[in-house]
Amino acid sequence: MTVGFTLHATDGPARRGTLTTAHGTVETPAFMPVGTAATVKALPPAMVAETGAEILLGNTYHLMLRPGAERIARLGGLHAFMRWDRPILTDSGGFQVMSLAGRRTISEEGVLFQSHLDGSRHHLTPRTAVHIQHLLDSDVTMVLDECTPFPVDREVAAASMARSMRWAGRCRDAFVDRPGYGLFGIVQGSVFEDLRARSAAALLEIGFDGYAIGGLAVGEGQGTTFAMTDVTTPLLPANRPRYLMGVGKPDDLVGAVARGIDLFDCVLPTRSGRTGQAWTRFGPLSLSNARHAEDPRPLDPACRCPACRGGFSRAYLNHLVRAKEILAAILLTAHNLTYYQDLMAGLRAAIATGTLRAFQAAFAADFGGSTDNGSAPGGEHAARRADAAGTSFPR
């Protein structure tokens, strides 16, 4: 037995399901907060759970370097170490390693790289990437792959994809099957439809417990991200979860769910929380902006997060951001993750009731941008319009 995946309902390509792992279940479509260094930055795990998150993403690259995968294994695995007893998916470390320009060498065997912390040398191969994730006790292990930059020549993308598929096979060989633990393959091929198709076919030939779409959200634009998703999802088995890596903004999530994606991860809600930005139904708000300095309203009176429910005003958040107080990061991260989780809950409910199209329309009207045309959302503009009209947060 591997990780389980049950489909409950569909609405067009969109799917409502449940992922079952060794550490519990995840209702999908789901957003995974990023817990890079064994912590979702700025939040205790109990507050992460309160946002509604059911699964976290851990970064193999960071954890293998500090505190080290063996150490985490000796301390009982990543769940026990960071006190998160629900499911964890880990990436393979490939994405971070590839970004170490000038400090890594890729070969058929894997990637030789130098730590950004102390310059120590490491070799990440398909086998070691899987082994490290086993040491971490990840519920979902990701294959080692190369995430090509954008733009990239077709020839380079093809060669990289082909090697990533060979690595995927070696990861499958190295992965130790256990009940509740799964291995996901990753479709590559940049923005070339035929390469995406060949990559998907190669992964299906090997056989995985779930399928990710990688190499997107790297600058190609929402329209292309969606186009590649449209090309890829029909090629993937309906009875296995699909994960669009590194995505995204709220409107990216809505559009990708409508295209049949089940899992997401992105640093955006957490990173935004540490840089003074709040995500709301009406788009993003920059709390450092002086226009919030005497605004007694919460970010969103309808929000159930500790910041909104706790009655912290935009004026107070503006003060905390300007004073660089840690509480700003705590409150805004909790708010952003809660908004993201509630958005996913809304999408799940819409799929279950066959009302996704209406949900998308209402979301787009509030959020201030189309979720479907590749343009940036209205965001701060929409929120300002709502403010100016005195009708913001009408619920």
Binding site for a copy of itself (CB under 8 A): 37-39, 41-46, 66-67, 71, 74-76, 81-83, 274, 293-294, 296, 306, 310-313, 315-316, 318-320, 322-323, 325-327, 329-331
In whole angstroms, the minimum distance from the beta carbon of 278 to a copy of itself comes to 16
- Of 2 and 333, nearer to a copy of itself (C-beta) is 333
CA–CA gap between residue 249 and residue 262 (Å, rounded): 15
In whole angstroms, the minimum distance from the beta carbon of 174 to a copy of itself comes to 27
In whole angstroms, the minimum distance from the beta carbon of 80 to a copy of itself comes to 8
Secondary structure letter of residue 34 according to DSSP: B
86 and 55 in contact (C-beta within 8 Å)?
yes
Catalytic entry in 11, 145, 251, 265:
265
CA–CA gap between residue 220 and residue 274 (Å, rounded): 26
> For this structure, is 11 an active site residue?
no
- Of 117 and 389, nearer to a copy of itself (C-beta) is 117
CA–CA gap between residue 256 and residue 12 (Å, rounded): 12
- Of 72 and 191, nearer to a copy of itself (C-beta) is 72
- Of 10 and 36, nearer to a copy of itself (C-beta) is 36
- Of 3 and 331, nearer to a copy of itself (C-beta) is 331
Given 3-state DSSP classes, what are the helix, strand and coil percentages for the chain, each rounded to the nearest 5? 45, 15, 40
> For this structure, is 262 an active site residue?
no
In whole angstroms, the minimum distance from the beta carbon of 6 to a copy of itself comes to 32
Strands (E), the chain: 4-11, 14-21, 24-28, 30-32, 56-58, 88-90, 104-106, 111-114, 121-124, 140-142, 182-187, 210-213, 242-244, 263-265, 277-280, 283-286
Catalytic entry in 91, 262, 295, 387:
91
Residue type for 4, please?
G
In whole angstroms, the minimum distance from the beta carbon of 11 to a copy of itself comes to 38
Which residues are annotated as catalytic?
91, 265
